[in-house]
Amino acid sequence: MFTPTPVRDKATPGRKKKKVNVTLWTVCSTVGALSVIGSVALMVGWKQQIPLNSVSEVQQAKAQVSQIREVYLEKLSRTDYNIDYLSSYSSVEGTPTLTGWRQLAAALWGQQLRGEISRMQADENSGFYRLHYMPALEIVKFNSLDVLLEAASGNNTFYWGYKRTDGTKLEEKLPPGAAAVLLLGKLEAIDYAQNLESQPSVDLNQMVIQIRNAQEPYSLAQAQLLRARGYLDPVEQMAQVADIRLRIKQREEQRQIYLQQTKKNQNKLAPTKQPVVNKSGG
């Protein structure tokens, strides 16, 4: 009777057995093992490099910045300016009234707008002559809205300038966003000029002192947040803000002096026109 024989037991004619390259296998195994060991070492070293409490330190720094920023912005841009309580203390609890710096500046601007309108009301050559201040302020408001529409339309040719106490004239180009901020402040000042029956006293010098006192801990908190996140250069640069600002100011002054000197030299080199003499007899 026929008994089948397994194929594997037969030697296949013409086919040779492949020998395993021991050297190649050893090299591949060694490289693979070293790769695994290196990966584990990197993971362990990275965990040792980052402190376990780094996340909590960042969160604490962020919370500190958020808390100080809330106080800073509350004083900078409060919107609950009560026109019925202009005194320094509340009539209910006896606590100081927290009026924002921006609102105090807008109230001061409102006073100055009323003063300008009063002068124009007495000027016979002015279009505001003998015009009540309420419609006059409405005209100023609509003029400001027209300029705000220019900024909304993408007009980027806004400038603002002033003359320093030493007589130097300074001018700066404003983007539409900056122009919008100024115009919104003017609209707020017009509203105060229309509605405030008694104006608060505003001391800009005290305002600058208060802002600086509030800005210092805010900047320190921001630097601490950068430090907790692992940044080094920005922290050092924030500590050198005064020096960097001074260098930028000196560079700008040198540029202004150079431009003025160049302008003077160009005026000297410009040829002077000689008067034309008519030599024809007559």
Structure tokens at 40: 């584990």
Provide the whole-model pTM: 0.63
* Residue 155 falls inside a structural domain: yes
CB atoms within 10 A of CB 68: 18
* Residue 133 falls inside a structural domain: yes
Average pLDDT of the segment spanning 114-133: 89
* Residue 143 falls inside a structural domain: yes
* Residue 106 falls inside a structural domain: yes
**Residue 48 has what pLDDT?**
47
* Residue 61 falls inside a structural domain: no
CB atoms within 10 A of CB 214: 17
DSSP letters, 141-177, are: HHHHHHHHHHHHTT---EEEEEE-TTS-EEEEEE-HH
Which pLDDT band holds residue 90 (cuts at 50, 70, 90)? very low
* Residue 230 falls inside a structural domain: no
Which pLDDT band holds residue 14 (cuts at 50, 70, 90)? low
Average pLDDT of the segment spanning 94-123: 83
Q: pLDDT tens, 15-46?
A: 555 555 666 667 667 666 666 666 655 565 55
Which pLDDT band holds residue 190 (cuts at 50, 70, 90)? very high
Average pLDDT of the segment spanning 95-114: 81
**Residue 79 has what pLDDT?**
58
- CA–CA distances in Å: residue 166 to residues 54, 162, 163, 169, 261: 51, 11, 8, 9, 18
The SS3 call for residue 96 is strand
* Residue 135 falls inside a structural domain: yes
Percent of the chain having pLDDT more than 70?
68
* Residue 79 falls inside a structural domain: no
Domain range spanning residue 142?
A: 100-199
The SS3 call for residue 89 is strand
Mean pLDDT comparison of 68-82, 134-148, 198-212, highest-scoring range: 134-148
Say if residue 148's pLDDT is above 90: yes
How confident is the prediction for the chain on average, in pLDDT?
A: 78
What's the number of domains the chain is made of? 1
Burial of 104 (0-12, 13-18, 19+ CB in 10 A): buried
Q: pLDDT tens, 206-240?
A: 889 888 888 888 889 998 888 888 888 888 888 88
Pairwise CA distance, residues 235 & 228, whole Å? 10
Which pLDDT band holds residue 52 (cuts at 50, 70, 90)? very low
**Residue 75 has what pLDDT?**
80
Which pLDDT band holds residue 272 (cuts at 50, 70, 90)? low
Name residue 232's amino acid. Answer: L
**Residue 207 has what pLDDT?**
87
Range with lowest mean pLDDT among 53-62, 79-88, 159-168: 79-88
Quote the DSSP letter at residue 94: -
**Residue 87 has what pLDDT?**
44
- CA–CA distances in Å: residue 188 to residues 30, 79, 85, 103, 106: 76, 10, 18, 8, 6
189 versus 85: the higher-pLDDT residue is 189
Strand residues in the chain grouped as ranges (E): 158-163, 169-174
